[in-house]
Structure 1
Amino acid sequence: MYMNKYVLITGASGGIGQAVAYTLAKKGYNLYLHYNQNEQSVKELKEKLNQFGGEYLPVHADLTTFDGYKSICSQIFSLDEIIHCGGTSQYGLFVDLEQAEAESLLNLHVLSPLMLTKELLPKLLSKRSGNIIVISSIWGQTGAACEVAYSTVKGAQIAFVKALSKEVALNGIRVNGIAPGAIKTPMMQGFTTEDIENIESDIPMGRLGRPAEIAGAVAFLLSDEATYITGQILGINGGWYT
Structure 2
Amino acid sequence: MTALIEARSASKVLSDPEPFTLVDGVSLAVDAGQMVAIVGPSGCGKSSLLYLLGLLDRPNDGEVMIDGVSTSDLSDAERTRLRLERIGYVFQFHFLLPELTARANVALPMQRLGHKSASEVDQTVTTLLEKLGVAAQGDRRPDRLSGGQRQRVAIARALANDPAILLGDEPTGNLDSVNTRLVIEEFQRLAHVEGRAVICVTHDEGFAEAADRRIRMLDGRIVDES
* Category of TM-score, reference length = shorter chain: 0.3 to 0.5
Structure with the larger helix share = 1
Whichever structure has more strand as a proportion of its residues is 2
Q: Normalising by structure 1, what TM-score?
A: 0.31
